[in-house]
């Protein structure tokens, strides 16, 4: 507790029913100590009420997320400190102080209230990575409304699904966003989502350009920032278990699920873990590249750093636009000290060669983080050596939308354990993680199994919106008394966790189950490969066979020797049964704008099935190129309809 006063904690009663997941007195004391570091209006009567699978933390306590992120700093004399640095592809940039952010949030919350938004109302936010998106989130929290942020790369159908499911009372958007040199009309996408809608709702529009925008009378309202700068609005104290937000999973298979997170428990967990893991302080210049539409953008893009009074960096646009050095220029310009991004982005930069970092001073970096998928050892080493100059720890974090915050990660903010490239190291304080077999029994060291969590934690989701049965089914039924993460993992003889990807991303070859992440990590060991994607396609004899798509680093060309080397690498590391049937070299892999590889799309392209919705695809050209590669390889495929 570097920046708080050590608090004397009284022994409190833990209210809980009979359950399999239990919390010991030591853990309850620890979480209470952490919670007491936040600015509560009313103290709780009970630390944890566990009615499995639902956990209610700090019952009876009242708090407000906006107050914890803003008011507390204004009162502590930090009003002139920079809260946000922002920039975009077009060269626009600016600075927002905590006082300015406080005023903007108060003004916008007042305007929302005048539009009929109040306590418990759901508000959809569809905006790019700009300060106004932060304002909208905190304004909702200030009113006790529940925000539903939608990734700005999603289609009108995705917005409509979330509006209908939550019965949202209001949608906040802006006229345009900028991405890869294009101007995207967000307002028209929202309009399309509301076609034939029979629900009464308001659309609050934040204008970024002088271009005219079509408005629907009595529905659409243009927000104009008031000239008066001393507006204030008292934050609404909400009970600790009042929902702060609903965040939908991407829904690559099946209907998206609305994950609900509480206020008090979630804030406590995020506040604690960002300090433990990154060692964040008010002096930190912190850049999390994740979009606000994902849980990383919520927890460690907005709430975590702002509660600590740090300065956050926002950049609107693609990582390699207008040029491949854009991100590194941002780090240099703002002297970023903590940088948190995804292995997908890192692999993209790896293939660009050694000139990538020329002209950018990265000496301000102190900690480097990784999120979103297992980081391959080769990527880990490149990140450490090239971006971190061998001076920055690599903080590989494992967690999920449902967990709210880091679950397994190194702790740069406290005692730093020795790092192993590719391992997320150990569970967070208070987290009991384990690797089990299909019957829920712990597996021996160096044995692949299912990752589970055996004790409750404050950041855990409090349910799936409108579907409590599904919440229990997915996460709490497979293993009694354990949270099922849905990921494969291995724990080595030193106790380090190695994440192997989703248990449902599995290729079954002649009865052998192989995770796509296992294959991809091995292929990436070849010095020529920048990134790759492994998929399984149907085979009449083996059930499935492995097909790999590779992207080569600059300076390498595909040939028979390279092809054979990669095949032999997989055979040697996994076994002859895993010999890839085909390897295809492409310029780019199909990805969503959040950086996720669309393996489903690769599979449908090879098997000639109907592609379906690719509205979140970043670049349509990747599909055309893959089709050409497959056809030139004389592989028979049916006509594909997009």
Query: Band of the pLDDT at 4, cuts 50, 70, 90?
Result: very low
Give the CATH number of the domain where residue 301 resides: 3.40.50.12780
Tell me: pLDDT of 7 over 60.
Answer: no
List pLDDT tens digits, range 540-564: 777 789 999 999 998 898 899 999 9
Of 446, 469, 491, which marks where a domain is finished? 491
Choose the weakest-confidence range: 135-139, 209-213, 373-377, 546-550.
373-377
- pLDDT grade, residue 201 (50/70/90)? confident
Render pLDDT for 65-100 as a digit per residue (tens, 0 to 9): 999 999 999 999 999 999 999 999 999 999 999 999
**Predicted local distance difference test score (pLDDT) of residue 413:** 62
Going by DSSP bridges, is the β-strand pair 238-239/62-63 parallel, antiparallel, or unpaired? antiparallel
Are both 104 and 209 inside the same structural domain?
yes
CATH code, domain carrying 598: 3.30.300.30
Give the separation between CA 60 and CA 35, rounded to whole angstroms. 13
Task: Please state the domain count of the chain.
Answer: 2
pLDDT of res. 40: 98
Q: Is residue 520 part of a domain?
A: yes
Q: In terms of residues, how long is the chain?
A: 642
pLDDT for position 144: 98
Query: Do both 464 and 599 map to the same domain?
Result: no
Q: Could you read off the pLDDT of 227-286 as tens digits, one per residue?
A: 776 778 999 999 999 999 999 985 444 577 999 999 999 999 999 999 999 999 999 999
d(C-alpha 593, C-alpha 153), whole Å: 6
Kind of pairing between the strands at 449-453 and 433-436: antiparallel
User: Residue 631: its pLDDT value, please?
Assistant: 66
pLDDT at 635: 37
pLDDT at 610: 59
Q: Cα(220)–Cα(115) distance, rounded to whole angstroms?
A: 11
Tell me which of 327-341, 361-375, 614-628 is least confident. 614-628
Assigned domain for 279 exists = yes
Bridge partners (DSSP) of residue 508 are 513
Average pLDDT score over residue span 453-462:
97
pLDDT at 641 over 70: no
Q: What is the per-residue pLDDT for 1?
A: 34
Across residues 366-393, what is the average pLDDT?
A: 93
* 583 and 539 part of one domain: yes
Sheet holding 497-502, edge to edge: 433-436, 449-453, 483-491, 497-502
Q: Are residues 165 and 287 in the same domain?
A: yes
Q: Can you tell me the mean pLDDT for 365-381?
A: 92
Average pLDDT, the chain: 89
Query: Out of 122-131, 299-308, 332-341, 466-475, which region has the weakest mean confidence (pLDDT)?
Result: 466-475
Residue 29 lies in a domain: no
- 264 and 120 share one domain: yes
What is the spatial distance between Cα 201 and Cα 167, in angstroms, rounded to a whole number?
A: 9
Say how many Å lie between the first and final Cα of the chain, rounded: 54
- Which DSSP string do the residues of 515-575 spell out, in sequence order? EHHHHHHHHTTSTTEEEEEEEEEEETTTEEEEEEEEEEPTT----HHHHHHHHHHHHHHT-
In a domain, 480, yes or no: yes
Same-domain status, 464 and 598: no
Lowest mean pLDDT among 63-72, 489-498, 627-636: 627-636
Asked if 196 contacts 188 with a C-beta cutoff of 8 angstroms, the reply is no
- Of the three residues 491, 523, 555, the one that is the final residue of a domain is 491
| Average pLDDT score over residue span 147-163 | 89
Q: Which domain holds residue 413?
A: 62-491
Give the per-residue pLDDT at 642.
22
Query: Residue 54: inside a domain, yes or no?
Result: no
In 3D space, the residue among 208, 167, 168 whose CA is nearest the CA of residue 187 turns out to be: 208
Instruction: Judge if 472 and 515 occupy the same domain.
Output: no
The tens digit of pLDDT for each residue in 45-61 reads 999 999 989 999 999 99
* Cβ neighbours, 10 Å, residue 390: 8
Domain annotation covers residue 144: yes
pLDDT of the residue at 577: 81
> How far is the C-alpha of 27 from the C-alpha of 29, rounded, in Å?
5
Residue 415 predicted with pLDDT over 90? no
**196 and 173, same domain (yes or no):** yes
Classify the phi-psi angles of 406: left when phi > 0, otherwise alpha if psi is within -120 to 50, otherwise beta.
beta
**Do 422 and 475 belong to one domain?**
yes
619, HSE (Cβ side, Cα atoms, 13 Å): 17
% of the chain beyond a pLDDT of 70 = 90
Kindly state the average pLDDT of the residues 445-458. Answer: 96
Report d(CA 184, CA 318) in Å as an integer.
13
What tokens does 182 get? 């294009």
Its pTM stands at 0.84
Give me the pLDDT at residue 639, please: 25
The residue written with tokens 């990784």 in the block is 370
Rounded to whole angstroms, the Cα distance separating 175 from 42 reads: 40
Any domain includes 413: yes
Q: Are residues 253 and 110 in the same domain?
A: yes
Q: Is residue 145 part of a domain?
A: yes
d(C-alpha 598, C-alpha 153), whole Å: 15
Last-in-domain residue among 491, 517, 534 = 491
- Domain check: are 412 and 514 in the same one? no
In this structure, the answer to whether residues 458 and 483 fall within a common structural domain is: yes
Give whichever of 12-21, 305-314, 366-375 has the largest mean pLDDT. 305-314
Q: What is the mean pLDDT of residues 566-593?
A: 87
pLDDT score at 55: 95
Q: In the structure, what pLDDT confidence band is assigned to residue 5 with cuts at 50, 70 and 90?
A: very low
**Which position has the higher pLDDT, 338 or 8?**
338
Lowest mean pLDDT among 190-204, 208-222, 270-284, 330-344: 190-204
Sign of CA dihedral 371, 376, 379, 385: positive
């Amino acid at each position: 507790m570097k920046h708080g006063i050590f608090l004397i904690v009284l022994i409190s009663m833990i209210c809980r029913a009979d359950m399999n997941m239990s919390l010991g007195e030591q853990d309850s004391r620890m979480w209470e100590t952490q919670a007491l570091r936040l600015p509560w209006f009313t103290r709780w009567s009970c630390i944890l009420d566990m009615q499995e699978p639902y956990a209610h933390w700090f019952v009876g306590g009242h708090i407000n997320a906006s107050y914890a992120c803003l008011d507390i700093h204004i009162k502590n004399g930090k009003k002139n400190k920079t809260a946000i640095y922002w920039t975009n592809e077009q060269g626009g940039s600016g600075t927002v102080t905590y006082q300015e952010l406080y005023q903007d949030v108060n003004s916008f919350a007042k305007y929302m209230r005048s539009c009929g938004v109040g306590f418990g109302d759901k508000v959809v936010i569809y905006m790019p990575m700009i300060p106004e998106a932060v304002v909208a989130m905190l304004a909702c929290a200030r009113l006790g409304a529940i925000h539903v942020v939608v990734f700005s790369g999603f289609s009108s159908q995705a917005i409509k699904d979330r509006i209908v499911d939550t019965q949202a009372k209001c949608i906040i958007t802006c006229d345009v966003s900028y991405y890869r040199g294009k101007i995207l009309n967000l307002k028209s996408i929202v309009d399309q989502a509301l076609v034939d809608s029979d629900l009464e709702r308001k659309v609050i529009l934040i204008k970024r350009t002088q271009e005219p925008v079509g408005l629907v009378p009595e529905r659409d309202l243009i927000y104009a920032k008031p000239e008066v700068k001393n507006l204030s609005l008292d934050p609404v104290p909400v009970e600790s278990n009042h929902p702060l937000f609903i965040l939908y999973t991407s829904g690559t298979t099946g209907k998206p699920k609305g994950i609900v997170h509480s206020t008090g428990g979630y804030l406590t967990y995020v506040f604690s873990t960002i300090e433990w893991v990154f060692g964040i302080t008010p002096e930190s210049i912190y850049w999390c590249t994740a979009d606000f539409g994902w849980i990383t953008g919520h927890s460690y893009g907005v709430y975590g750093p702002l509660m600590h009074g740090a300065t956050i960096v926002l950049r609107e646009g693609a990582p390699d636009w207008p040029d491949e050095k854009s991100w590194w220029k941002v780090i240099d310009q703002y002297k970023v000290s903590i940088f948190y991004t995804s292995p997908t982005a890192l692999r993209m930069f790896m293939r660009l060669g050694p000139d990538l970092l020329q002209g950018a001073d990265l000496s301000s970096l102190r900690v480097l983080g990784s999120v979103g998928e297992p980081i391959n050892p080769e990527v880990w080493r490149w990140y450490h050596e090239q971006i971190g100059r061998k001076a920055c720890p690599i903080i590989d974090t494992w967690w999920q939308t449902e967990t709210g915050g880091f679950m397994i990660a190194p702790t740069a903010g406290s005692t730093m354990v020795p790092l192993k490239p590719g391992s997320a190291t150990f569970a967070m304080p208070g987290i009991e993680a384990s690797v089990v077999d299909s019957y829920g029994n712990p597996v021996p060291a160096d044995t692949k199994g299912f990752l589970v969590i055996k004790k409750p934690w404050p950041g855990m989701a409090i349910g799936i919106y409108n579907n409590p049965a599904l919440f229990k089914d997915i996460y709490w039924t497979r293993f009694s008394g354990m949270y099922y993460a849905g990921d494969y993992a291995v724990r080595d003889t030193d106790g380090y966790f190695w994440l192997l990807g989703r248990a449902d991303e599995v290729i079954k070859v002649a009865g052998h189950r192989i995770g796509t992440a296992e294959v991809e990590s091995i292929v990436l060991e070849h010095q020529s490969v920048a990134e790759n994607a492994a998929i399984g396609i149907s085979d009449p004899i083996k059930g499935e066979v492995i097909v790999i798509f590779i992207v080569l680093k600059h300076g390498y060309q595909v040939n028979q020797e390279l092809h054979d080397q990669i095949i032999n690498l997989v055979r040697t590391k996994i076994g002859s049964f895993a010999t890839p049937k085909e390897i295809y070299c492409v310029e780019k892999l199909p990805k969503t704008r959040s950086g996720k590889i669309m393996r489903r799309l690769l599979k449908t392209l090879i098997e000639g099935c109907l592609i379906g919705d690719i509205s979140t695809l970043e670049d349509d050209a990747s599909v055309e190129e893959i089709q050409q590669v497959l056809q030139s390889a004389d592989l028979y495929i049916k006509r594909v309809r997009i």
